[in-house]
Amino acid sequence: MIRKSVLLLGLVSLLIAPAGCIFSPSSDDGGDGGGGGSVELPFPGTPEQLMANFKTIYESMDIEGYRNLLHPDYQTILKESTVQDFPSVGATLDYTEEVQIAENMFSGAPGHDANGDLTSSISSITFTEPDQVTPWEPATAWPEYFDYDNPNYTIKSSLFNVLFEFNRAGDTTLQVTGLIKFFIAEQDSLYQGAVRPYYQMIGQEDLTNDGK
């Protein structure tokens, strides 16, 4: 079955139990939260390289890479339809919540649907090259969830068209399509003996298509 959904928390029916508590496999197996092994990623010295690393991390299901890609002040801004369907989650996800979801998703652990029934695990992810719709521009006033006056970094944003395919054990594929507004933080970093721009993802605003 193929259906459209929101990114990440469009997977909320797979990853969150009915009580609204985000599930992490480490609570059961004593591990570090699961996820694929880390792959070697190029230094994210440009927005383009950061987005390329984001694609690689999803397709390799690399949880350690995802932890490093996200800024500690990270926020996912959820769609109103998602908030209405899952009011206990709230309007945003912070760094910890986002990483917990990725740990579950990348580890291949089963989740739960909205009724609390177990669902099949995600076996692989295909992320078609995202199509950039708008240039990277300074983000200085909206949304309200970011600290635009932080002296340690500046924030830029851009819209992308995305297509994700989350392949689940068996023959079921969850397809995610539509727009996502990505927010990135630029800061200085010492790399190979020189001070260079260093980019991390500080947020996503979900504008993807609703499910059918």
**Exposed (0-12), middle (13-18) or buried (19+): which is 71, by Cβ within 10 Å?**
buried
Predicted confidence at residue 166, as pLDDT, reads: 87
Predicted confidence at residue 212, as pLDDT, reads: 54
Q: Which residues of the chain have pLDDT under 70?
A: 1-38, 111-117, 171, 211-212
> Measuring CA to CA, which residue among 208, 11, 29 is closest to residue 93?
11
Predicted confidence at residue 115, as pLDDT, reads: 60
Q: For the chain, what is the total number of helices (H) and then of strands (E)?
A: 6, 9
Helix (H, G, I), strand (E, B) or coil at 201: strand
Helix ranges restricted to H, the chain: 12-15, 26-29, 47-60, 63-69, 80-85, 95-107
Sign of the alpha-carbon dihedral angle for 190, 192, 195, 198: negative
What is the spatial distance between Cα 210 and Cα 212, in angstroms, rounded to a whole number?
7
Between CA 205 and CA 212, with CA 207 as vertex, the angle to 5 degrees is 140
Predicted confidence at residue 114, as pLDDT, reads: 55
> Measuring CA to CA, which residue among 103, 97, 202, 99 is closest to residue 157?
202
Q: What pLDDT, in 10s, does the model give residues 21-74? A: 333 333 333 344 445 556 789 999 999 999 999 999 999 999 999 999 999 999
pTM: 0.83
The letter for the amino acid at 186 is E
Predicted confidence at residue 36, as pLDDT, reads: 57
